[in-house]
Amino acid sequence: MLITLYFKKSNYLVLAMKVPPKEEFSIREIRPRFNQDVNYTFIELKAMLDKELSQPGAPVVGSVDRDYASLKVPQKVEHYWSPQLSVTFETFDDVTHIRGFYGPKASVWTMLMFFYAIIGFATIFVSIKGLTHRMLNEDSTILWLVPILILGLLSIYAIGYFGKKKGYDQL
């Protein structure tokens, strides 16, 4: 039984799996995921993917490597927040377990995690330093930076959320 993989509001790829339509994904999920077991081997799935991706005018571009596939929006319609679909395959006997998740491009994800880490470490450092000064009855005005840093963390989350919302139509 061939089912379709959903991407960009239309069924584009005849495959042996079904990704839930985007209506089933919550906008609150940072990286929506799906799991599916199919009765095909990885070699058969790879052949299907390669065939569909090599056709002219395919609505997605991507590559299939050892037990892994990465599908992206074509460059002509791609924007900064465009999602990509990462799929891994694990074969046991004649059954292949497929795990996939939608997420931002690696550069976007890395940038967001970098800023989260920098502001998170700064928050911890400022908190420790400020509380140490407070316990020693010294000037602890540095603690006023903690709410500002927390607002920075929340603003990075909001940027990621609105970016995901912008790329959501391309799922």
Quick one: pLDDT at residue 21? 53
Show pLDDT as tens, one digit a residue, over the chain (171 residues).
233 443 333 333 434 334 455 555 565 666 778 888 888 888 888 888 888 888 887 778 888 888 888 888 888 888 888 888 888 888 887 788 888 888 888 888 899 999 999 999 999 999 999 999 999 999 999 999 999 999 999 999 888 888 877 877 776
Distance, CA of 97 to CA of 63 (rounded, Å): 19
Q: State pLDDT tens for residues 109-121.
A: 899 999 999 999 9
Quick one: pLDDT at residue 6? 39
The pTM assigned to this predicted structure is 0.67
Count of other CB atoms within 10 angstroms of residue 56: 4
Least Cα distance to 72 among 18, 20, 17, 8 occurs for 8
Distance, CA of 169 to CA of 73 (rounded, Å): 11
Distance, CA of 143 to CA of 15 (rounded, Å): 55
